[in-house]
Every structure is written in structure tokens, then in C-alpha cells.
Amino acid sequence: MLDNNQLLRFTTAGSVDDGKSTLIGRLLYDSKSIFEDQLQAIENTSKKKGHEGVDLALFTDGLRDEREQGITIDVAYRYFTTPKRKFIIADTPGHIQYTRNMVTGASTANAAIILVDARHGVIEQTRRHSFIASLLQIPHVIVCINKMDLVNFSEEAYNKVIEQFEEFSSKMLVKDVRFIPISALLGDNVVNRSQNMDWYQGAPLLHTLETMHISSDINKVDARFPVQTVLRPQRDGFIDYRGYAGRVASGVFRKGDEVTIMPSGFNSKIKSIDTLDGELEEAFAPMSVSITLEDDIDISRGDMIVRSNNKPEASQDLEVMLCWLHNDSAKPRAKYTIKHTSNEQKAMIKEVVYKYDINTLERNMDDKELGMNDISKVKIRTTKPLMVDSYRENRTTGSIILVDDATNETVAAGMIV
Ligand SMILES: Nc1nc2c(ncn2[C@@H]2O[C@H](COP(=O)(O)OP(=O)(O)OP(=O)(O)O)[C@@H](O)[C@H]2O)c(=O)[nH]1
């Protein structure tokens, strides 16, 4: 069965002028995923600006305005639906804070679209974005070779980009890479099959997104339930109800399952799984539920309910692939708040093991500074144990962020090795 109806999150990456806005506009326009009145407004503005047809970049301009005024959101999300699937696009601006934006926008993405200008081929930004996509273990990468109209729709130009891409991507960990030759401006192979590239046998972009299998990307094995809130009898108006509310991070929980509470290590059984709409027999990621247990155990926010026969590691020493996201560099041995699922502790960066040179993908063992956009392997020590999995096994319980206590700003995001 195709998992068509599932929500697919994807992010777009590319350097400035590769055509990201045009591509998103084309996707929304040709798939008719835009309301009549919005479309009318865009057509009117396009005409006023002297555009022949519609100015596709206007589809993302609303998002950009918001960004320029606020600066608070670095990543804008856009929703659209086709008869086959729902989509969320994390629109990450291509310039300056590329790493930061991509990490923020892509950490929950099922797929990344990496745009390459057919005239220029693979450039530094392509390598950067692909490397970040591989670090974030985005399961599917679609390389869209854009502006094919400017290279006479040449198959040779397309093959050359694939060759360049494969040359460096062989060093990375991306499971599923596909290539699509497109013209975002003219619409070739975006929603509709190109009439100009008979030599391309694959599907257009939208069809590829609509039919991509994503259910196997979810971790269904390791049952993890970080407790967000403890619902107490009396206080919250629940008579005789003591439940633990939160969101299933991964795996499946069933009524009667033997569970362990971490870090305390107490064992119990699931008495019920409740939602506002009633009781459930089972819950899986990313459902928000409240769980009750057969025993009365002292549990607080930040604890984790897991299946007893499959526990995460409780650790105070973490090895983390860290993306630095802030203008201020890391201060040596400075203390930060580490946020991991619903848990928060104090933490210190003990050691910078190495820093990546993103251009060559080589490890620099001597440069220990952590500045904006740097990606480094670090050792972190926390004041109390966190219940962690490796990011490779679990994108939720395997990721952390660091927050500066003084400013309350996020300074880094990391993947547990
Ligand atoms: N000929 C041609 N031009 C294109 C194509 N796609 C985009 N362009 C043009 O390339 C320029 C840059 O496109 P944008 O969509 O603004 O590119 P971008 O810089 O990636 O977008 P943002 O950074 O997201 O604003 C515009 O003038 C587009 O009209 C294409 O397939 N063919």
C-alpha cells in the first residue's frame, strides 16, 4: 500500500538564484494548491509589475516579508495539499545563515530538495547543503537540476551534474538520492512531464513527492515516551486520575505493556492510554496522549517511559555532532542549558574533538573554535543523566539543543553520535 495520505515534510536548499522561490511557486501554481482569491491577487500584482503570466516568486513573497520584518523566524512553513498527500515545505533562505536555517528547517524533514543550476553544476553550496542533509539523516534527497531551458534541455549537461554530485556524495550517508531535470520557470518536470526532455524516463517532482514511501523512515521499534506534564488528581480537575501527558517520540505503546520509568528505573504496566476523544489500545509516534500506570510511581516532567525490554542509555557524557547556530562563538568550558526531549539540564562543552571543513569534508583536528555555521564533533558533560539514543537510531531522542542561560537564545543543535 502506498502511504499516500501521510504528511510529507520537505525542505528546499540551494544557493541564491538557483530558483527556490520559482520552484515553490510553480509547485503551488501547477498543482492548483492555492486559493482562487490568492491566485487572483498574484495575477494582478504580476500584471502590474509588467510580468508576462504570473511572477512565481510572489508565492513565497508573503513568507519573505514576514521574515524581513520579524527576523524572529528564520524558517517559514508553507502547507499545501494535493488529492494524494499533504505537504509542509520548510522554506529556508539560501544565504548567510544557511547551516542554521537548514538545521532548523530540516531536522524533521522526510525529504530535502537540493537545487542545482544546470549551467553551473555542483558548487560549494551544493556540497554544504548535501552534507548537512546527510548529517541530519534526511531519508530522501532529490537533486533538482534546474534551468534546463538555459542549457537547451541537454541530457549531457544533466548527466554531468549527476556525475559531479555522485563523486562527492559517495563519502556521505544519504540512502535515497534521485535526480530530476527541471525548469522551474517553464514548469518542465515540476508538476507536469516535460515535453522538451524525452530522454528523461523518471517522474516529475510532484509525482515523486506524492509517491515517496516514508512510513519505513519512522522508528517503530524503540518505544519512547518523554513525559511533558504530570496530570495529578484534584489539582487538574481529574478526579482520581494520575496520568502522564506527552508525545510518543518513537515506537508503539500498548495497554498492558511492561514499562520502565527512566531514570529512576521503576517498573510498571500501562493501565490505560487516553486522549480527549477517549481511550486507545495503542499509541505510536507522533501521537499526543496521556498514559496511566498500574503502580503509583513518582514521575516528573523530563522522565521517560520506555518499554522494559528496550531501554535507551542513561548518560551524562555525550558525543555530539554539533552545529553552531549563533553569532557569538562558544566560550571555552562555558555552561549551557541542554534541552533533550522534555528534559532540561545544565551542560558543559568539555572538548571539541574536530571541526569539519565543509568544502573538503575533511576533519580539522586543530581548530577548536565554534562559530556560526560550524559543524564539529564535541564532548558534552551534563549535570544529570539524559536518556539518549543515537541520532542514527532515533531522530527525536538522539537530538539536543543548547541554550545560553544569560540570553535564553538557542546557540547550537546537535545529533548524538
Ligand atoms: N530560465 C530560467 N530561469 C529561472 C528558472 N528558475 C528560476 N529562474 C530565474 O532565476 C532567478 C532566481 O530565481 P528565484 O526563484 O528567485 O531563486 P532563489 O534565489 O533560489 O530564490 P530565493 O533565494 O528563494 O529567493 C529569477 O529571475 C527566476 O526567474 C528556470 O528554470 N529557468
pLDDT in tens, 147-183: 999 999 999 999 999 999 998 887 777 778 999 999 9
d(CA 326, CA 337): 15
- Ligand 1 centroid to Cα of residue 168, in Å, is 25
C-alpha 363: how far from chain center: 24
- Pick the residue whose CA is nearest to atom 5 on ligand 1: 185
ipTM beyond 0.95? yes
Q: Out of 185, 186, 196, 197, give the residue to mutate to test ligand 1, the one with the largest number of ligand atoms within 8 Å of its CB.
A: 185
H or E stretch including 9? strand 7-13
Res 406: pLDDT: 87
- Give how far Cα 369 sits from Cα of 196, 197, 349, 378, Å: 50, 48, 12, 11
Beta bridge partners of 247: 288
Give CATH for domain 2-217.
Answer: 3.40.50.300
Buried b vs exposed e over 15-36: b needs ≥16 C-beta within 10 Å? beebbbbbbbbbbbbebebbee
- Ligand 1 centroid to Cα of residue 186, in Å, is 11
Q: Which residue has the cell 531522530?
A: 395
Beta bridge partners of 141: 112, 177
Q: Give just the sign of the alpha carbon dihedral 323, 114, 77, 247.
A: negative
DSSP-derived pairing of the beta strands 343-357 and 335-340:
antiparallel
- Whether 145 is in the pocket of ligand 1, judged by its Cβ within 6 Å, is no
DSSP-derived pairing of the beta strands 86-91 and 282-284:
unpaired
- Give how far Cα 230 sits from Cα of 242, 255, 304, Å: 7, 19, 12
Beta bridge partners of 311: none
Res 73: pLDDT: 41
Question: Quick check: do 224-307 and 313-416 share a fold?
Answer: yes
Find out whether 377 and 321 touch, Cβ atoms under 8 Å.
yes
Give CATH for domain 224-307.
Answer: 2.40.30.10
Residues of the chain with pLDDT under 50: 1-4, 63, 66-73
- Give how far Cα 4 sits from Cα of 82, 257, 259, 261, Å: 10, 30, 33, 36
Q: Out of 12, 16, 18, 22, give the residue to mutate to test ligand 1, the one with the largest number of ligand atoms within 8 Å of its CB.
A: 22
**CA geometry: angle at 92 spanning 91 and 95, to 5°?**
140
- Whether 51 is in the pocket of ligand 1, judged by its Cβ within 6 Å, is no
- Given phi > 0 = left and psi -120 to 50 = alpha, else beta, which region is 174? beta
Quick check: helix, strand or coil at residue 36?
helix
| In the chain, domain spans | 2-217, 224-307, 313-416
Res 67: pLDDT: 43
- Pick the residue whose CA is nearest to atom 1 on ligand 1: 147
Res 70: pLDDT: 37
pTM, rounded to two decimals: 0.80
Q: Provide the grid cell at 177.
A: 538520492
- Ligand 1 centroid to Cα of residue 158, in Å, is 18
- Give how far Cα 315 sits from Cα of 267, 298, 349, 389, 390, Å: 19, 21, 15, 10, 12
CATH of 313-416, one of 1.10.10.60, 2.40.30.10, 3.40.50.300, 3.40.50.2000: 2.40.30.10
- Whether 57 is in the pocket of ligand 1, judged by its Cβ within 6 Å, is yes
Res 176: pLDDT: 87
Max CA-CA distance within the chain? 72
- Whether 18 is in the pocket of ligand 1, judged by its Cβ within 6 Å, is yes
d(CA 47, CA 391): 49
